Chain A
């Protein structure tokens, strides 16, 4: 039986602003993606963006328990692998919510005070690494949380953007289990920021740029 912290990390109700984000679904829908393609999109995210995000969060968690704490290398490595400005901005906006929560839970924790030194702002995986240190979650639980959150973000947004039976979304997530496990294992195997996988999904980047210029959006990105 896991503790409560890993469950909290994966809970979409954690009040850190996640509901404003569709993990690329809204831009994809605008580009023509339909409901039948959601499982394929989930697999694609699990082989690309989710691996990089989970690996960066784990690297940040490792940095968070060092003395002194320095998130600079992982923040820079992740920013360099997120070439599209709107996606970096979305990640920073989501990271801000995580940072606020970490400050609330443990304002004086070295993992949290070091976040304030990250410029321009901590990207979400970096902030999650700090939160993970505060909540004392394992690397594996953190990686699982990030990967699960990716799935849950896309499928929750699908309820707004591609309406259908909400029960379908649970089946989609369960069907993605093998890819989710592979993403977690791959993320855990990354040892240094230089090894952070470059898994930029090109169409996602293109759609994100188009989304940022669009009016009448529901989601941040």
Chain B
């Protein structure tokens, strides 16, 4: 039986807040694991990091990340969600909080803990009880109209990623229109058109995380809840 005693060999330095907990949500297949791998690749050299994954089947995403070799494998934890990935990030975050706290105790002090939601639908977003900030991932292959459809992740996540922009010509999607749709749904919150083949977009992603971390540390970042429903969508959905 592994030692389950709380270990506090590395107390947080005085005056420094605990690690920023950054959630990554979005529908199945939009590239959440790739975004995580990219963040680890870009940031693990300068930040102490760890990752929690929530795939429907325990360890699919964790194995992908471990095999990507972007972070020491013991810093990547998979959490069983009983086939309820949305519950694990919103209604009952116990299992994820346990994993985050364990990683902080074992490897702390950490700067950044990434929590990857199991792929769910457009309404699944993180509770502020688990994530300080969250990015929501959609992709061009899911169709150019996804951003227009809205939903709390699209309208309210701290960052919206429109992923796989390199595929746009192959799936008949105009990236500029999709990004413009997203911006108009988000009241000024940032949108990032991302591609693994576009180094500038990757730098922009890493810089956004650095900026949130800086605001987390100086106390100016206030976690906001995108909510389970888009505020302006009730009239359409309830009728």
Contacts and interface: CB of A to CB of B under 8 A. Distances in A.
B interface, by DSSP: helix, strand, loop or mixed?
A: loop
Interface string B41-81: 00000000000000011111001000000000000000111
Interface string B71-102: 00000000111111001100111110110000
B80 A218 contact: yes
A218 B94 CA distance: 16
A15 B58 contact: no
B154 to A, nearest CB: 26
A160 B1 contact: no
B2 interface: yes
A148 B237 CA distance: 36
Interface in B163-221: none
A21 B84 CA distance: 11
Contacts of A207: none
A220 B80 CA distance: 6
Q: How large is the interface on A (under 10, 10 to 19, 20 to 34, 35 or more residues)?
A: 20 to 34
Nearest to A21: B82
A218 B84 CA distance: 9
Contacts of B239: none
B94 A120 contact: no
B3 interface: yes
A49 interface: no
A219 B83 CA distance: 8
Given A218-B58, A219-B80, A97 B98 contact: yes
Contact of A217 (B2, B58, B63, B87): B58
Interface in A36-94: 85, 88-89, 92-93
B92 A19 contact: yes
B88 to A, nearest CB: 8
Contact of A16 (B1, B83, B92): B92
B81 A20 contact: yes
B58 to A, nearest CB: 4
Interface string A113-154: 000000111000000000000000000000000000000000
Given A85-B1, A88-B1, A157-B82, A216 B93 contact: no
B82 A218 contact: yes
Contact of B60 (A89, A96, A119, A216): A216
Given A20-B81, A215-B59, A216-B57, A100 B94 contact: yes
B158 to A, nearest CB: 24
B24 to A, nearest CB: 20
A19 B80 CA distance: 9
A169 interface: no
Nearest to A96: B98
Contact of B82 (A22, A85, A89, A96): A22
Contacts of A120: 1, 3-5
B195 to A, nearest CB: 30
A17 interface: yes
Nearest to B79: A20
A13 interface: yes
A169 B133 CA distance: 39
3 nearest A-B residue pairs (beta carbon): A17-B94, A15-B92, A97-B94
Interface of A: 13, 15-22, 85, 88-89, 92-93, 96-97, 100, 119-121, 157, 160, 215-220
6 contacts: A17-B92, A19-B88, A119-B5, A215-B58, A218-B58, A218-B80
